[in-house]
Structure 1
Amino acid sequence: MEKTKLTGRIVTRDDPGYNDARTNINLSLQRYPRLIVFCQNKHDAVNALKWARENNVPFRIRGGRHSYENFSLLNNGLVIDLSEMNRIKVDHNKQLATIEAGAELGEVYRTLWRYGLTLPAGNIANVGLTGLTLGGGIGYLTRSAGLTCDHLVKLEMITAEGKEEAELITVSRSEHPDLFWASQGGGGGNFGIVTSMTFKAVPISRVSIFSITWGWKDFEEVFNTWQRWAPFTDERLTSSIEFWPEEVNRIEALGQFVGTKTELKELLKPLLKAGKPTSGIVKTVPFIEAAAFFNSPGGNRPQNLKRSGSFIEKPLSNHAISTIKHFLQQAPNQNASVWQQSLGGAAGHIAPDETAFFYRDAIIAQEYLTNWTSPEEKSQNVRWIEGLRTALSKETMGDYVNWPDLAIRNWQKTYYGENFERLREVKTKYDPDNVFRFEQSIPPLRRSIFF
């Protein structure tokens, strides 16, 4: 039988663009692949998988380059990069959007906006939509419209059939429903190579947004007020809050409301009574302007970083709030922060076992963030993140699989909760030989292989 040849745009270590081609969002975890194939279409992806299997070359799948632990990179293997497969097709009448696996969120927003549509998704413009969706997908429409994965209608996926084969299949509620379930929060890269996804889009026009800032002295009052207000207010309002170190002297709450500025101002009254706000903005804008407003510039560029997170099921105690405050007083630098987003609403109307995304009962997603400049700062920053996560563990649960953390030992239960064993069954059915694997990939049953 004739051997498969790699097709697409191929980058090797000898090419002048190699360093740019291999670079992911996290510069603190360097990887040096042997080859990077930038697939131009699904056939290139099929060929890449076949070639890797025939030649016994380890590989990783990459989309938006935003894997915080660089799971989409490896040393001395093949990276199957889908970023140049980014076509978007919209059926306006049916409100369906078919989006290739490499499309970035910002371009998705801009394209759908031309049809008066959008998806409930994230706030970083250059994050890959596919990875975001496969892990769940939270953002400023979560409470009004649900998670990104809740709008998934079908997807195309290349699975590893047979000894050296690669088969392109369609996955939906009626075709391979178990794999469709797993694709709604089961994480990227576990079951196959997704080449495109079709979503039921959401009509959108104008929305109202807000920003409120406070100084450090209002820490406890603002924290307590926001966490007891944000997850329980009108479901059309999704918000976040971020706390920076004491010397930064800044707390900021942001939010988006699918309604009028007048209604939003009324809903914000409890929050505005907390402490003494130093600034505030409330305005109604076209949705696409709101997306630009929330776009996080710091999240768009490669840097030395560490992230972790957890979910919160009930408001944190005063002791936990004091713990967060203490850690921010001892932060390794001014870039460190604790970020929270309100959940519930439409995202909480779905049972934990209805999709692979388990944490439907959570009221808040909480992320721990830091970044630094010089390599010698890494250990201090990583220790700070892990210390904070551990110190809050009695009042938090799990972690969002899109915020992976290699330091988490029981990551199986942490990411997937009670859905993990079912995910292993799906893995066993579609990838019994564990072809698709990385450091925290779901292992098949009978083969407890951990990397």
Structure 2
Amino acid sequence: MSGTRLTGRIVIPGSPSYRQDRQNLNLSIQKYPCIIVFCQNRCDVKNALKWAREHKTPFRVRSGRHSYENFSLVNRGLIIDVSEMKGIVYDPQKQMAYIQAGAELGMVYQQLWDNRVTIPAGTSSSVGLSGLALGGGIGMLTRAFGLTCDSIEEIEIVIPCETRGAKVICASQTKNPDLFWACRGGGGGNFGIATAFKFRVYPVANVSIFSITWNWEDFHASYNSWQKWAPFTDKRLTSQIELFASGTITASGEFLGSPKELQKVIKPLLETGTPLNVMIQSIPYIEAVHFFNSPGGNRPVSFKRSGSFVYEPLPDKAIETMKQFLENAPNQQTTIWQQALGGAVMEYAPKETAFFHRKAIIAQEYNTSWMCKEQKQENINWVEGVRNAMKPYTKGDYVNWPDRAIKKWPCAYYGSNYKRLRKVKTAYDPYNVFCFSQSIRPYWPL
């Protein structure tokens, strides 16, 4: 047996920080790895992958700890954690950012903002860039600049080789283009371990934001107005709507233009129902990042989430279904959240990258959390109930919002792209080294 040694910061069950270091954000699924390796560089990643293969030890890859189903954890195995690889370098000549896979979004946004540039990405500041980008990546600049994966120019990734080996390769439009295609929407942990990205960046200064809140009496009117407008309006505006079980509806968004222009753009919402609160203002981009950051998404809690895509405006019956589920929610923190797509997302064909749901107009997420173990099943049942009830009006699910209850997950996440993803898997990981309950499978076990 080869003498490969684990390198990096190593944590085991007896370590003082083990309890904290093993924990992901979703407290409802507890797992107990025997070793956690916090890699400091690509060599540590290579050594960890080689060590796992040599010792035939199950392993998972982790970055920001946001895996909804805790697919980045494993019992009695090895966690290869890249969260301490946080380097960010901006090249003003090439208008590119070189970002290591463990960087959190909050840090990425702040350091790029110091140079008055950014990338289109998510809203929770503690999300790891790697997992977000590999699954697609949606956020408040999506309609203007596309998904996070659309701005990737190159990926550095550690893949298995030979019987027990590992090597570092690059994937781009010209180097390993099939792997590059798969890594833009094919999900994390399927083909290898991403260690760094090269991103195309966009100049940014002030942006305009808005927020409008309605009472429950305006549920149908406010939602209907938003869904028929948000995915089709000026692509400089990305907006979201959240339907709260507590009895309110809030639409908000970020616009690359002046408040005066924004007021004209959101006129359909302003004329809907009886808004309780209306806010429109211009702020520095980094303040908008903080405004849309969801603090609840950054704290460990027991939760269940799932999602789907909307391809055409929902009929009244579907809107009423959402309303009834929220009126019978297990707690007041339960919500249905939606973000408008369209715009730059649709500038790519569904087969142009691994992210299949290009033609969807809305990404929809069902969210609930709980404090006591006794409430777990009730909350899970609610999420699965609303997802199933909405099936006649929706399609698939977003791979970054995985749900173990989805039986036909390959079709739900990847649509007709799954066959090509399996070919890429067979080419780069034929022995299925990277494997978990909803991982892409090769065409044959060699």
TM-score norm. by structure 2 comes to 0.99
What are structure 2's unaligned runs of at least 5 residues?
none
Over 6 Å off, 4+ runs: none
Write the distance in 1 (CA, Å) between the matches of 2:430 and 2:315. 44
Q: Distance in 1 between matches of 2:336 and 2:310?
A: 13
1:47-196 equivalences under 5 Å are 47-196=47-196
Q: In structure 1, what is the Cα distance between the partners aligned to 2:191 and 2:249?
A: 40
For residue 280 of structure 1, what is the amino acid of its counterpart? V
The aligned residue for residue 408 of structure 1 is 406
Residue number in structure 2 paired with 1:437: 435
Secondary structure of the corresponding residue to residue 332 of structure 1: coil
Post-superposition Cα deviations, 1:12-71, rounded to whole Å, max 9, x if no partner, equal: 001111010001010000000000000011100000000000111110000000000000
Which amino acid in structure 2 is aligned with residue 57 of structure 1? T
Task: Give, in whole Å, the separation in 2 of the partners of 1:429 and 1:324.
Answer: 43
Q: Distance in 1 between matches of 2:215 and 2:418?
A: 42
Superposed CA RMSD: 0.9
Match of 1:272 among 270, 273, 281: 270
Deviation at 1:115, TM superposition (A): 1.0
Question: Distance in 2 between the 1:315 and 1:25 partners?
Answer: 33
d(CA) in 2 for partners of 1:74, 1:272: 49
Does structure 1 retain, via aligned residues, the 8 Å contact 2:151–2:201? yes
- Residue pair 2:2, 2:54 contacting (<8 A) in 1 also: no
SS class of match (2:165) = coil
CA distance in 2, matches of 1:59, 1:302: 22
The residue aligned with 1:10 is 10
Whether the 8 Å CA contact 2:120–2:141 is kept in 1: the answer is: yes
Q: Deviations over 1:82-137 (max 9, x none)?
A: 00000101101211001001000000000001111000011000000110000000
Q: What one-letter code is carried by the residue in structure 2 that aligns with 1:404?
A: P
Q: Deviations over 1:161-214 (max 9, x none)?
A: 110000100111100000000000000000000000110011111110011111
- 1:338 is aligned to 336
Provide the residue aligned with 1:360 in structure 2: 358
Question: 2-side partners of 1:292 and 1:369: how far apart?
Answer: 21
Q: Give the distance between the partners of 1:285 and 1:176, measured in 2 at CA.
A: 41
Counterpart-to-counterpart distance in 1, 2:2 and 2:415: 44
Q: Whole-Å Cα distance in 1 between the matches of residues 252 and 222 of structure 2?
A: 13
- Counterpart amino acid of 1:74? V
Which aligned pairs between 1:202-213 and structure 2 lie closer than 5 A? 202-213=202-213
Equivalence for 1:43:
43
Residues 335, 51 of structure 1: CA spacing in aligned structure 2 closer, same or farther, 3 A cutoff? same
Equivalent position SS for 2:392? coil
The alignment partner of 1:322 has SS state of helix
Q: Distance in 2 between matches of 1:423 and 1:249?
A: 42
Structure 1 residue identity aligned to 2:62: R
Q: Who is 2:292 aligned against?
A: 294
Q: Indicate if the aligned counterparts of 2:157 and 2:170 stay in contact, CA closer than 8 A.
A: yes
Greater displacement, 248-257 / 350-359: 248-257
Give a deviation string over 1:382-412, Cα, whole Å, max 9, x none: 0000010000101100100000000000000
Q: Which amino acid aligns with 2:373?
A: P
SS in structure 1 of the partner of residue 437 of structure 2: coil
* Structure 2 residue matching 1:60: 3-state secondary structure: strand
Answering whether residue 24 of structure 2 is matched by residue 24 of structure 1, we say yes
Partner of 2:259: 261
- Structure 1: stretches of 5+ with no match in the other structure: none
**Match for residue 318 of structure 2?**
320
CA distance in 2, matches of 1:188, 1:115: 29
Q: Distance in 2 between matches of 1:268 and 1:176?
A: 44
2:238 — aligned with what? 238
- The aligned residue for residue 281 of structure 2 is 283
After TM superposition, the score normalised by the length of structure 1 is 0.98
Secondary structure at the aligned position of 1:394 is classed as helix
How many residues were matched structurally? 446
Aligned position for 1:384: 382
Residues 123 and 294 in structure 2, CA contact (< 8 A), matched pair in contact too: yes
Question: What is the percentage of aligned positions where both structures have the same residue?
Answer: 57
The equivalent of 2:304 in structure 1 is 306
Deviation at 1:2, TM superposition (A): 4.2
SS in 1 for 2:326: helix
* Contact kept in structure 1, 2:309 and 2:394, CA below 8 Å: yes
Q: AA paired with 2:118? A: T
1:166 alignment partner, SS class: strand
* Equivalence for 1:418: 416
> Counterpart of 1:223 in 2: which secondary structure?
helix
The answer to whether the 8 A contact 2:63-2:101 is kept is yes
C-alpha separation in 2, matches of 1:16 and 1:281 = 47
2:227 alignment partner in structure 1: 227
Shift in alpha-carbon separation, 1:447–1:392, aligned structure 2, 3 A: farther
Deviation at 1:231, TM superposition (A): 0.5
For 1:361 and 1:416, the matched residues in 2 are separated by: 13
Amino acid aligned to 1:271: L
- How many Å separate the matches in 1 of 2:71 and 2:278? 39
- Measured in 1, the distance between the counterparts of 2:184 and 2:247 equals 39
How far is 1:446 from its partner?
2.2
* Alpha-carbon separation, structure 1, partners of 2:71 and 2:252: 30
